[in-house]
Each structure stands twice: as C-alpha cells, then as structure tokens.
Structure 1
C-alpha cells in the first residue's frame, strides 16, 4: 500500500500519531471516501484482499462497505504507527432486531486509552474517535458514547434530538480481516442482508451528511433534513457529482 497516495486520496497530511491527528484522519476519510454498496447490488464480488481494496478505494476513487473501508483504514493506521486492531460488532437494526452476529468490522485504536474508530458504518458513522470510558462526544448535532456491557463487550450509542439508540455491540477481542469472510459473503448474497436490496451511498460533509438510498437523496445540513426523489438520470448525476462515483468502474 502506498501510504502517501492513500493520504492524498483523503486530503490528509502525514503527521505523527496523536488523538488530534487520528480525529483528523477519521474526519477526512468520512468526507472523501463514501460508504457504498454499488458492487453488491451489481453482483461484483468483494474479496477481503487489501491489495484489491486499495486499488478500488484509492486508485479507482471508489468507496466500499465496512470490511473494505475499515479494513483498509486499519492498515493505514498501522503503517502510520498507531496501535490499532480490527474488532467485530453486531448491529442492532432500527426495528430492534439484532443482525447476524459479528458481521460488522470496526477498529479499536490505543492511545492514552482505547478509542473506537469507524469509517464504515454508513450515515450513522461517528465522525471522531469515541473513548470506551463512556464520555460523550458530540459533533454537528449527533452525540455518541460507549456503554460497557461485560468485561470485553460494549455498546455504541447515538443520540440525536434527545432520542437515543444503540447502533451496535462490539467486542474488544482482536480480529484479522480474514475472520470476516463469512460476514462479507453473507452481506453480498443473503436476502437478510441490509445491502442486497438497493443502492446505499453515504458521505459526511462539513455541515452534516448526504445519503442516497435507491433514488432518494437525503441531505442533512446543520440538523435540517431535506429529501429529494431522483430520476435515473438525476441519480447518475448525483453519483458522479456529489459522491464522485462513476458507474463505469462498477
């Protein structure tokens, strides 16, 4: 992996490891590299191979879903000198049902204390590192905190406008990217997967988030939500010009 090219892809400087630098890397990644499942919908296989993922995300200017984005970002952090480990999480869906166990890949980074760092959870991804000590972190109207459940399990909780929701439960046990093979296959082919039904694209901005689900474009700007239904032509324009994604690479 070419670290300088990766940093150029996310418009981030080369800096020594620190909490401030880590927060900057996470923020820039979320604003430059979209979460997207376009390959899944178009039956393009996704393999847990860092060389392939690097080519897709950095050289082809694409995004990806959690295994790709957090897998590659974990590799970048390690190359930059951070002590970072991949970990697994189980997503709690908005309807209150738990998704397939341990099929979300995310990252723990160890600095003065451990921090949860995620760049691959779509429109609900925290924008900054979240400490495991329960302290709340707020950014553009979204508050995140972590609640410990057992000695090695924790819940990531988000609060917006006074409404709290658990997003996922994770374990601090270290994983390798290959450990997510079953989950990666499941999320590409199963009807029970969130990602096999329609296009999902999400990108953070300086003032909120922009998401695309099927033909619905949602912009959240300083807490104000605006939804627009797009024609096929408008959708392609949005992919190209808002998310900087070209379907010719799918």
Structure 2
C-alpha cells in the first residue's frame, strides 16, 4: 500500500508530506487534471476490479481511466495512508431531479481540525476541485463554480453546485455505515445493469485550471469560466487524438475503433 501511495504522489509531482487542507486541494486538482473519469472500460466489457492494486494499475499505470468507485477509493486510500481521518460513503446521483435512483456513487468525508469536508474526485465533469466544507454555505472551487453541502433533513444531505446564480443538485446521501460489500453492489449495478448510464453511454471528463473537458458519446465540449466550446468529432482520427491527447488515456486501435463505431460514429449519422 505504501508503494502505491508513494508512486501515486510521484506521478502527480508531489515529493513533500501533505498535511494541510490547501495541500489536499492541490492534490485533488492534480488528480482531476491527470486521471480522467471514463466509462470506456465498462463499454469494452473489461473486468473491473475494486482491489486497490488493480485500481492503481488501471488508472495510474495503464492510463485507462475509471469512475467513482475506482477514483474515490484510490483517493481515499491515499489520504488514509497519509494519516488523514477519512470515511467513505455512498450517494444517489440525482442530477437536479426528484427521481428515485439507487445508491451508485462512492465519495469521501474528511475530518480535519474538527470540521468535516466532502471530497469527490469521481463525479465526472461536476467534481469539486476543493474539499467542500459541510455547512450550508457555498465554497468557491474552480472556473466560477462553487459547491455546498445542504442539509435536507436529519441525516439527509445534498451536494449542490452554483454557477451564475444557477443551483444544481448533484447527489444526495445519508451518513450511514457502509462497507466494501456495499460498494461492490453499487459497482456491479453501475457497470453491469442494462439500464445503467455507463453501460449505455461513452462518458469521459477531466478538469484543469482553465477548462472542463466533457465528452458524452459524440458531444465533446470544453467549458471555460465565461463560455463553452463544442468540438466537432469529424472522424476516427480526431476521436483517437482526443482520447490520447485531451484525456491522457491509453487504449489500443481495436478498442478505440469499437468505441468510436458504437458510441460516436452512430450518433453522428
């Protein structure tokens, strides 16, 4: 475990002890910039393990991306090994609706200096780039976006974002106790159930200091602080470059062609 954390930090350019909230923020930003959120291995029907060694190998070494159960477990393990007081939970991804949806999302709560913070590096292009303090106030994050953990009722909370005075509820959750079996169940649904979003859609995203990059099937947009740009995917070569250059992921030609033909090309026709 120690080697995983050491090599993870080295990959992100961290060579000093992380001990402050600001340093955790820098680590979150480096993670979101370097390791893409992606459903590609789900669509390729790869076996996706939640073993931390497999997660590290897949995301950090092989650059094949991952989703919440992978990204947030990796970040949780790193913080835990660094000596931080962290606990993981499950949430429902509600996307600003009142729909009844299963608990298919993992995230982390950090206890730091007698305050609690929500950390989520696995909610795709909506991921906060800062630890979000659990109070009913918005915390500035990136590109003019702020985040808040709202108390809805006793033991029921919601993570919401705010930009240009528009609020968007991303997830809601309860602070119940969860274990690895619970995460395995949510993970199984998310990458196996025929109605699951990631089973039916190509979803890739990353966040850096100047833009959010978000690809969903054939729709690729770059979101800036005051504008957004739609990028035309005019063929396979363009798609291949986007995956490799914009999202820093590594897939072979056959895998890329399969994804392109099923989830990008068909949408373009």
1:233 to 231, 237, 250: 237
User: What CA distance in whole angstroms lies between the structure 1 residues aligned with 2:250 and 2:78?
Assistant: 24
User: What CA distance in whole angstroms lies between the structure 1 residues aligned with 2:236 and 2:201?
Assistant: 14
The structural deviation recorded for 1:19 is: 1.0
CA gap 1:145/1:40 in 2 versus in 1, 3 angstroms = same
Structure-1 residue corresponding to 2:45: 43
Query: Is 1:144–2:154 an aligned residue pair?
Result: no
Query: Is 1:115–2:117 an aligned residue pair?
Result: yes
The structural deviation recorded for 1:94 is: 4.7
Number of positions where the alignment pairs a residue of Structure 1 with one of Structure 2: 249
Would the aligned equivalents of 2:117 and 2:134 in 1 still touch at CA under 8 Å? Answer: yes
Q: CA RMSD in A?
A: 1.7
Would the aligned equivalents of 2:221 and 2:229 in 1 still touch at CA under 8 Å? Answer: yes
Query: Is 1:173–2:167 an aligned residue pair?
Result: no
Stretches of structure 2 lacking an aligned partner (at least 5 in a row):
256-269
User: What CA distance in whole angstroms lies between the structure 2 residues aligned with 1:237 and 1:224?
Assistant: 23
Q: More displaced, 113-122 or 145-154? A: 145-154
The structural deviation recorded for 1:70 is: 0.2
Structure richer in helix, relative to its length: 2
The structural deviation recorded for 1:171 is: 2.0
Q: More displaced, 83-92 or 216-225? A: 216-225
1:248 to 252, 258, 268: 252
4+ long deviations beyond 4 Å: none
Would the aligned equivalents of 1:93 and 1:99 in 2 still touch at CA under 8 Å? Answer: no
Structure-1 residue corresponding to 2:92: 90
Stretches of structure 1 lacking an aligned partner (at least 5 in a row):
none
Radius of gyration: which is bigger? 2
Deviations 1:70-108 (A, max 9, x none): 0111000001111111111111135542421x2100000
Q: More displaced, 153-162 or 105-114? A: 153-162
Would the aligned equivalents of 2:39 and 2:198 in 1 still touch at CA under 8 Å? Answer: yes
Structure-2 residue corresponding to 1:200: 203
The structural deviation recorded for 1:248 is: 2.4
The structural deviation recorded for 1:176 is: 3.0
TM-score between the two structures when normalised by the length of structure 2: 0.87
User: What CA distance in whole angstroms lies between the structure 1 residues aligned with 2:189 and 2:88?
Assistant: 19
Query: Is 1:161–2:179 an aligned residue pair?
Result: no
Structure-2 residue corresponding to 1:106: 107
Deviations 1:16-52 (A, max 9, x none): 3221111111111111111011110111121221111
TM-score between the two structures when normalised by the length of structure 1: 0.93
Deviations 1:159-191 (A, max 9, x none): 122111211112223433332111111111223
> Helix, strand or coil for the counterpart of 2:247?
coil
Structure-1 residue corresponding to 2:259: none
User: What CA distance in whole angstroms lies between the structure 1 residues aligned with 2:73 and 2:181?
Assistant: 10
